[in-house]
Amino acid sequence: MIAELGLAALWLAAAFALLQAFAGIGHWRSLSPALASLTRPVAVMQGLLCLIAFGCLIWLFAVTDLSVLLVASNSHVDKPMVFKLAGAWGNHEGSMLLWVTVLSLAGAAIALFEKRLDQQTLGAALFAQALLGLGFFAFLLFSSNPFERLDPAPPTGAGLNPLLQDIGLAFHPPTLYIGYVGLSVGFSFAVAALLTGKVGPTFARAMRPWVLLAWIFLTIGITAGSYWAYYELGWGGWWFWDPVENASLMPWLAATALLHSVAVLATRDALRAWTIMLALVAFAMAMAGTFLVRSGILTSVHAFAVDPERGAFILGLLAIYVGGAFALFGLRIGVVREGKTFALLSREGAIVGNNIFLSVILAIVLVGTLWPLAAEAMGDKISVGPPYFNQTTVPIALLLMLLLIVGPVLRWRGDMLSRHKSLLLPAVVFAGSAVVLFSTQAQAGVWPIMALSLAIATAVGSVLPLIGRNLLRTPLPVWGMALAHLGFAVSVAGMAAESGWKAEKLAALSVGDSASVSGWNVKLADVRPVVGDNWVALEGQMEVRRGGDATVMLPQSRQFSNPKQQTTEAALLTRWDGQLYAVIAAPAEGDVSDRWQVRLWWKPFVTLIWYGGLLIALGGSLALIGRIGLFRRKRARSNLWSGA
């Protein structure tokens, strides 16, 4: 009965999406006051119905209702409850229902909370949001029904991919999806602006919190996904330039450019057309990422769908929405009046440079991700891996860091440095760091040393906007900017340190043998069997020592029975200057020795990568709180002044 309730809620939500589209037209075109009045409540009802449908799916997984095909294919009666619940979105149909739910809730949030847009633009935005929802409702109901019944029901269920049986599944996909789908709000606002021709600071101030919220969740999702892959896959890496990893990076790059551009439009009424285009590009990248993950053209732990018909459906939606939006851009951008001009040497100019560098990196990642797929479709197999991405993106990223130092000290619209003397400090820090590192650590390589030196200088430069201010009265958005730039510097420092100074040791050890890596002595003291909730494992007991620092690490080689799969569970030892990473594997088949395959990595300051990501998200959160609070204070003062 719960499955039928969920399916009925989904059908009703689709019907409300259709009604919202018509009501939005009435709202936008002022055709019928009665029809226009339905727009907001219909959007809210659509969101509530989708939430009911998703809640039904969560319940079906919680009780392991094996009469539902999706549950039987992705859960098991003996699976721990947390993984039963997370399994609701750890598959194709469930993840797409999550997508639609977030999309509908975003529309409901616009209807409930958006008060700054004029009525025409609001109606057009809700119309665009409803059109987006209709396509994905059709995809779910006709191609990927999450509530399809199975008769007869199996006794136990097939289980969930063991690599997904991790707490990371509870955080990474939902946060990433909120970020992905949150960009639909910026997309709908941009479409509405093209339809009405109303683009200006008020429009940008309305769009900015939504874009900022999506960007925060994208940052958290990517950061969580990177750490999840790092410790779960057992390969010792934090970013592999996997096509599906790139699929999450591309929307983030576009959203970062959009966030800076919309700030210029909101503050200085410039970059009107550029902001609209970036809003379309950001959601286009989210759609492209959805196509890559859900089309079946990629083989990955992230990719769930293997049905080419589903891929064709998503490709069709991508063509309709993205192609239609850019066609509208080409037809209607002429009605958008030009914004105010500014000097090249100004804060706006630095933000344009920031946007250009981010766009170039986005283009590089997009080409590197799609070119092998296009070549394979034409009968040729090529591989585009880390060397291509690292050699092309790293130099541009370093130039981007220079702008992070210089940009915030430039005047708006001006052509002079407002506090040029303050740039001497990061310049001296960069030069000093580079000289010291090149003279003492040349073996690390040019790019890691340059990146680390620039990261240190950027960290110093991130506080320049705070110099000379009363810190207690400094607006939260300024604190947010400084903290986000600091977080970027911290992440780059971790990436540079790990890339340039990591050490690896591969050894075949019998019990009692030892191996060393970067001053750490690791002794394999014992190997013993352990039993978990739904797995068995061989666990290595490693006695680890560096100077007076001694502890025990417990890496495992696990065997799951439902489904049958072997995984490697890394052991991590975190210290202030880095992490020791250890994995263990049984002897190769046919090897009659008692030696265990042990791989050790020492990764200096690698944790800075994820601490930096959290600082970026925290900075964005402060800016969001400040923007919302600033708007409320202004509105309250306005009401008081008018006697309201």
Question: Are 464 and 419 within 8 A, CB to CB?
Answer: yes
Question: Are 181 and 102 within 8 A, CB to CB?
Answer: yes
pLDDT number for residue 193: 94
| Residues 20 and 134 occupy one common structural domain | yes
| Residues 514 and 635 occupy one common structural domain | no
Counting residues of the chain whose pLDDT is more than 90, the rounded percentage is 65
| Assigned domain for 262 exists | no
| Residues 542 and 613 occupy one common structural domain | no
| Residues 490 and 632 occupy one common structural domain | yes
| Assigned domain for 512 exists | yes
Domain count, the chain: 3
If DSSP codes are grouped into helix, strand and coil, which group holds residue 520?
strand
Cβ atoms within 10 A of the Cβ of 420, count?
A: 11
pLDDT number for residue 497: 97
- Of the candidates 40, 6, 567, 632, which has an alpha carbon nearest to the alpha carbon of residue 301? 567
| Assigned domain for 357 exists | no
Mean pLDDT of 248-260: 96
Residue with tokens 């019907």: 15
pLDDT number for residue 643: 31
Among 102-116, 136-150, 187-201, 305-319, whose mean pLDDT is lowest? Answer: 305-319
pLDDT surpassing 90 at residue 162: no
Of 114, 141, 160, which one is at a domain's C-terminal end? 160
| Residues 16 and 132 occupy one common structural domain | yes
Q: Is the bond leading into 387 cis (omega within 30 degrees of zero)?
A: no
Q: What are phi and psi of 562, to 5 degrees?
A: -135, 95
Of 139, 160, 181, which one is at a domain's C-terminal end? 160
| Residues 23 and 130 occupy one common structural domain | yes
Of 160, 193, 215, which one is at a domain's C-terminal end? 160
| Assigned domain for 436 exists | yes
| Assigned domain for 322 exists | no
Mean pLDDT of 249-263: 96
Mean pLDDT of 155-177: 81
Six-digit token pair at 38?
């339905």
Confidence at 642, pLDDT banded by 50, 70, 90: very low
| Assigned domain for 238 exists | no
Distance of alpha carbon 594 from alpha carbon 587, whole angstroms: 7
| Assigned domain for 302 exists | no
- Of the candidates 283, 277, 546, 268, which has an alpha carbon nearest to the alpha carbon of residue 413? 268
Mean pLDDT of 223-246: 88
Distance of alpha carbon 225 from alpha carbon 223, whole angstroms: 5
pLDDT surpassing 80 at residue 612: yes
Mean pLDDT of 427-447: 95
| Residues 553 and 439 occupy one common structural domain | no
| Assigned domain for 310 exists | no
- Of the candidates 467, 482, 461, which has an alpha carbon nearest to the alpha carbon of residue 623? 482
| Residues 478 and 537 occupy one common structural domain | no
Helices (DSSP H) in 30-116: which residue ranges? 33-36, 39-62, 69-74, 81-86, 92-113
Six-digit token pair at 506?
């591969």
pLDDT number for residue 64: 92
Distance of alpha carbon 50 from alpha carbon 11, whole angstroms: 9
Confidence at 417, pLDDT banded by 50, 70, 90: low
pLDDT number for residue 638: 36
Counting residues of the chain whose pLDDT is more than 70, the rounded percentage is 93
Distance of alpha carbon 454 from alpha carbon 613, whole angstroms: 17
pLDDT surpassing 70 at residue 139: yes
What is the residue range of 633's domain? 419-502+607-644
Among 303-312, 324-333, 358-367, 467-476, whose mean pLDDT is lowest? Answer: 303-312
Instruction: Tell me the pLDDT tens digit for each residue of 78-95.
Output: 888 888 888 898 888 999
| Residues 509 and 475 occupy one common structural domain | no
Confidence at 167, pLDDT banded by 50, 70, 90: confident
| Residues 155 and 15 occupy one common structural domain | yes
| Residues 538 and 459 occupy one common structural domain | no
CA angle 486, 490, 494 (to 5 degrees): 170
Cα end-to-end span (Å), the chain: 51
The amino acid that residue 453 corresponds to is S
| Residues 440 and 513 occupy one common structural domain | no
Paired strand residues for 529: 538
